[in-house]
Amino acid sequence: MNDARRLVSVLAALAVVLLALGVAALFVGSAGLSPAAVARALAGRAEASSVEAIVTLSLRLPRVAVAVLAGGALAVAGVGFQALTRNPLAEPSVLGVSSGAAFGVVLAQILGLQAGVVAALGVAVFAFAGALLAASVVYLVATAPGGLAVQTLLLAGVIVGIFFSAAITVIISLVDFNRLSGVIHWLLGNLAPIPAASLALFAALAAGGMWLILTRARELNLLALGEEAASQLGVDAERLKRQVFIAAALLTGTVVAFTGPIGFVGLIVPHVLRGLVGHDNRLLVPTSALAGGAFLLAADTLARNVVAPAELSVGVITAFCGAPFFVWVLRTRSRPA
Amino acid sequence: MSALIEFRDVVFAYARPAERRARAFAFPGLSFAIERGEIFGVIGPNSAGKTSLLRLLTRVVRPQRGEIRLDGRPLEALPPWELARAIAVVPQDAPRPFPFTVAQLVLMGRYPHAPRRFFEDAADVAAARAAMLATETLPLGALPLDQLSGGERQRALLARALAQEPRLLVLETAALLRRLNRESGMTILLVSHDLNLAAELCDRLLLLRAGEIARAGAPIDVLEQGLLEDVFGCRVIVDKSASGRPVVQLAYDRG
């Protein structure tokens, strides 16, 4: 049908952008490799122990993969939360869900989960639990008789975020600093290359969450009619809400576990895409998965080159973009139609 | 042949009445039937149970005792999408802001016909088109619902319900009701505050008072002066319209 064709063409265009950004990201960086050296490493004609092979294949390539996965997962989580709350500002970091997940990760780290794929799974489980806890609290606080109040939801998210940030600070203060050496850096939201096994785990969890939301996209559209009207159309609204809620928390928790809390991707990407493909979640979810990846990849490439040889945290870049964006959406939305 | 809709001794009360209305509301045991092809009106004062009746019928809430049957089959036995293929409700309004266009809204009515389908197919689009044609909303298709006037908005919501191709259409306003019934023979349930509108349009009326049936039958039998004064708690005059239907007016004391 018409929508399907539109989806395919937008996805194809986004895939081209993503591919171009991915290639560009492989060729730039503080190591100062020549394009020819990078190409040699990519073609497998460089020695495994050579600088170009290590930098390109073990540092840049996995980092590109992490950026694409994390960006896509965060953007889809944003679409999920926005459809559930019928609020375009709802997003993992704004709702405090990222902070809950971060608390889970810090907890997992002081329990000794550090390296290896099993530990990574453990950290992801803790992050998921933290995300679920934070999202549930926000949801319960904001649910008034008669539905979710828009402003209350955002305030509840901010409060829950502050609470979990404080809880993280308590843990950091109590624990031997050396055991948490990387935590401060991680808390700013950083993309670091991760081992292949962990990367596969990351990909599997992210794909699972995105698939769940994608397959519920049509029902999520109907939710815009209100829960009662949706159920009168045959949607099991309670089950739908529960599933999407869990999937969005899973995506948030997974990203936080593998990269740290990176804010605003789930706000910026779906909002820009709505201008392009409209509000239909069936178009929004798959395009957000690709566009989110492209956005975070671009932000990360900027982050590791703009102050080279030092590096900015990618969370700083997304926050610098996201904060003014949030204000803009808030202002245009609250204006009477 | 069984009636299209049958309420059999339906007992229902909200678990937490305080959330709904100040006064505890309940159906102590409601029985009535809606026949195929008729226009059936439910009338009554506030908190008589009009909305609750509707929510029971669409299984948003479930009875504590008794049974509701659709075509002789208990409502409980039907999967949600099958129920939604049989009964369509035209809501009084959609939430605001509502982000979708009229065409997107109308296509939502096709969901119960293929809940597993990701995109609507050509048959869905054709059904939506027919519904928009019947409600004169076809030219509005590409517009966001939030840009329509009140009347256009109502017609778009009606089109969404018609796209469901239901056997029973539940309305709270009367736009296009007569024509739909005459042209398609569709059974219609009208839930209304407006006694005269209901009297003019409906074949039969059900007058509710605090969850109980005050009277059911033809408009001329239901809209009777003494009964109405008793149910609504005010003085009325019942007259006849040009078409021979009863017309109810408030009686003002001119002192």
Residues of chain A short of pLDDT 70, as ranges, are 1, 113-115, 144-150, 177-181, 333-337
DSSP B26: E
Rg of chain B, C-alpha, whole Å: 19
What CATH architecture applies to the domain B1-71+167-224? Answer: 3-Layer(aba) Sandwich (3.40)
Q: What is the mean pLDDT of residues B26-53?
A: 91
Residue B140 is predicted with a pLDDT of 95
State which residue of chain B sits closest to A147, comparing Cα positions.
B95
Q: What is the pLDDT of residues A306-326, one digit of tens each?
A: 887 788 889 889 999 998 988
By the CB < 8 Å criterion, does A232 face chain B? yes
Which of A247, A313, A300 is closest to A66 using CA atoms? A300
DSSP A50: S
A231–B164 CB contact, under 8 Å: no
How far apart are the C-alpha atoms of A57 and A287, rounded to whole Å?
A: 28
Strand partners of residue B250: B236
Residues contacting residue B7 through CB under 8 Å, at least 6 positions apart: B30, B31, B32, B33, B56, B66, B68
By the CB < 8 Å criterion, does A336 face chain B? no
State which residue of chain B sits closest to A335, comparing Cα positions.
B97
Query: Which CATH topology does A2-334 take?
Result: ABC transporter involved in vitamin B12 uptake, BtuC (1.10.3470)
Q: How far is A248 from chain B (nearest CA, A)?
A: 20
Contacts of B146 in chain A (CB under 8 A): 337
Q: How far is A79 from chain B (nearest CA, A)?
A: 14
State which residue of chain A sits closest to B124, comparing Cα positions.
A1
Query: Treating both helix axes as pointing N-terminal to C-terminal, what angle do A2-27 and A35-42 enclose, rounded to 10 degrees?
Result: 120
CB A301 within 8 A of CB A61: no
Q: What is the pLDDT of residues B3-12, one digit of tens each?
A: 999 999 999 9
DSSP A238: H
Contacts of B95 in chain A (CB under 8 A): 86, 224-226
Interface of A with B in 126-155 (CB under 8 A): 145
A337–B146 CB contact, under 8 Å: yes
Residue B24 is predicted with a pLDDT of 64
Which of B163, B83, B160, B82 is closest to B124 using CA atoms? B163
Lowest mean pLDDT among A173-182, B56-65, B91-100, B245-254: A173-182
Which candidate from B58, B82, B118 shows the least CB-CB separation from A232? B58
Nearest 5°: phi and psi at A230? -65, -40
By the CB < 8 Å criterion, does A311 face chain B? no
By the CB < 8 Å criterion, does A337 face chain B? yes
Residue A336 is predicted with a pLDDT of 41
State which residue of chain A sits closest to B166, comparing Cα positions.
A233
Q: How far is A200 from chain B (nearest CA, A)?
A: 28
Q: Return the domain boundaries, chain A.
A: 2-334
CA distance readout (Å), B5 to A319, B1, B131, B169, B187: 57, 12, 24, 12, 10
**Amino acid present at A22:** G
Q: How far is B239 from chain A (nearest CA, A)?
A: 38
**Six-digit token string for B160:** 């969404």
A222–B108 CB contact, under 8 Å: yes
Interface of A with B in 246-275 (CB under 8 A): 274
Q: Return the domain boundaries, chain B.
A: 1-71+167-224, 94-164
Residues contacting residue A36 through CB under 8 Å, at least 6 positions apart: none
pLDDT band for B154, please (50, 70, 90 cuts).
Answer: very high
Residue B255 scores a pLDDT above 60: no
A337–B99 CB contact, under 8 Å: no
Cis peptide, bond prior to residue B97, ω within 30 of zero: yes
Predicted ipTM? Answer: 0.87
Q: What is the mean pLDDT of residues B153-182?
A: 88
Contacts of B121 in chain A (CB under 8 A): 1
Residue A51 is predicted with a pLDDT of 87
Mutate to test the interface with A, among B81, B118, B169 (most CBs of A within 10 A): B118
Which of B222, B196, B243 is closest to B32 using CA atoms? B222
Which of A51, A46, A100, A97 is closest to A74 using CA atoms? A97
Q: What is the mean pLDDT of residues B116-139?
A: 94
Percentage of residues in chain B having pLDDT higher than 90: 67
Contacts of A279 in chain B (CB under 8 A): 99-100, 104
Q: Which helix (H) or strand (E) holds B129?
A: helix B122-134
Task: Please list the alpha-helical segments (H only) found in chain A.
Answer: 2-27, 35-42, 51-53, 61-85, 97-110, 117-142, 150-174, 183-187, 196-215, 217-223, 227-232, 237-259, 265-277, 281-305, 314-334
Rg of chain A, C-alpha, whole Å: 20
Taking 3-state DSSP, the helix, strand and coil percentages for chain B, each rounded to the nearest 5, stand at: 35, 25, 40
Residue A180 is predicted with a pLDDT of 63
Contacts of B112 in chain A (CB under 8 A): 233-234
Other Cβ atoms closer than 10 A to B220: 14
Residue B149 scores a pLDDT above 50: yes
User: How far apart, in Å, do the first and last CA atoms of chain A sit?
Assistant: 32
B101–A235 CB contact, under 8 Å: no
Q: What is the pLDDT of residues A220-273, one digit of tens each?
A: 999 999 989 999 999 999 899 999 999 999 999 999 999 989 999 999 999 999
Residue B147 is predicted with a pLDDT of 93
Which candidate from A234, A279, A282 shows the least CB-CB separation from B80? A234
Pairing of strands A143-144, A147-148: antiparallel
